[in-house]
Amino acid sequence: MRIPPGLRYMALSAFAFSVMALLVKVAGSRLPSSEIVFVRALIGLFLSFLLLRRRGLGLLGKRRGLLILRGVLGFIALSCFFYAVTKLPLGEVTILFYLHPLFTAVLATILLREAISIRLVGSTVLSLIGIALVTQPSFLFGGESPIPTFPMVLAIVGAFFSALAYITVRALSRTEEALVIVFYFPLVAVPASFPLLVMDFVWPVGMEWGVLLLMGIFTQIGQITLTKGLAHETAGRATALSYLQVVFAVFWGALFFAEKIEPLTALGALSILLGSLLVAGQNKPVAKVA
């Protein structure tokens, strides 16, 4: 089976973002999440500027209002996600955040008039089953949920705003260069996160500088491949494959933080992977964006 280019980009994006989350978890053991957001945005702004200049592209784009909105939505999503990463096990927070493909599919149907295929529905069902198996919510499994409420809520809020950001990226991809779309995220996030940085600043020491730099680089890789993936595929189909990040996150959590992989967690990760493979096997033309 030949996987289309857009889905290959999304798979690479999922891996890059999983490494980013791992590095955020490491840095967040001492540094505030607001500071990590600022550093990530600052590195992204610098790298995006260099790439745009190298390609000889203009910085401001054509649809500036929508580009700024994409930056605002992305900043809110990232802030929620980074905070949750520092408070929850890596696998669990990634799974909660990765409700966004489901939100994206629904929003794309409403806002972009994209059709939902049978494969996409099947992929979503398998992924939601996987999420339930990993998080084991009390209303399904009894007892108390092992996940603290506030970080859990922020992870879900972040997922919703991430879905909105994905929708704007999909809409912008018809008229804007991928690098311009990526550039607007840190362009908005740097000034937006600066006040929080000033209020709760901790000076990085030692290896924290390297961790923050690598985090920014992997995030940039994730952003570029994500944007290219959304330019090739419908929003719902492309983001369904990003569920692969959940599998990566469970692996990183077990490898670096001794986060135990329970049988139900492994079964849930397998269900999510099968859902991603199901949607990857769907070879349909890209739907036009209204």
Q: Is residue 149 part of a domain?
A: yes
pLDDT tens digits for range 88-121:
888 878 878 877 777 877 787 777 777 767 877 8
Q: How confident is the model at residue 3 (pLDDT cuts 50, 70, 90)?
A: confident
Q: What is the pLDDT of residue 287?
A: 37
Structural domains counted in the chain: 1
Residue 288 lies in a domain: no
Between 44 and 277, the more confident residue is: 44
- What is the model's pLDDT at position 283? 47
Q: Is residue 286 part of a domain?
A: no
How confident is the model at residue 289, as a pLDDT? Answer: 33
Residue 290 covered by a domain: no
> What is the distance between the alpha carbons of residues 237 and 65, in angstroms, rounded to a whole number?
26
Residue 171 lies in a domain: yes
290 pLDDT higher than 50: no
| Residue 239: pLDDT band with limits 50, 70, 90 | low
261-275: pLDDT as tens digits: 778 878 887 887 787
Mean pLDDT of all residues in 125-152: 77
62 within a domain of the structure (yes/no): yes
Tell me, yes or no, whether 285 lies in a domain.
no
Q: Give the mean pLDDT of the chain.
A: 83
Containing structural domain, residue 223: 5-280
Q: Is residue 287 part of a domain?
A: no
Q: What is the pLDDT of residue 279?
A: 63
Per-residue pLDDT, averaged over 50-77, amounts to 90
Q: Would you state the pLDDT for residue 236?
A: 62
What is the C-alpha separation between 236 and 128, in angstroms, rounded? 15
Query: What tens digit of pLDDT does each residue of 185-224 get?
Result: 899 999 999 998 888 899 999 999 999 999 989 988 988 8
**What is the token pair recorded at 194?**
């600066």
What was the pLDDT predicted at 282?
Answer: 54
Specify the higher pLDDT residue, 289 or 125: 125
Mean pLDDT of 245-271: 83
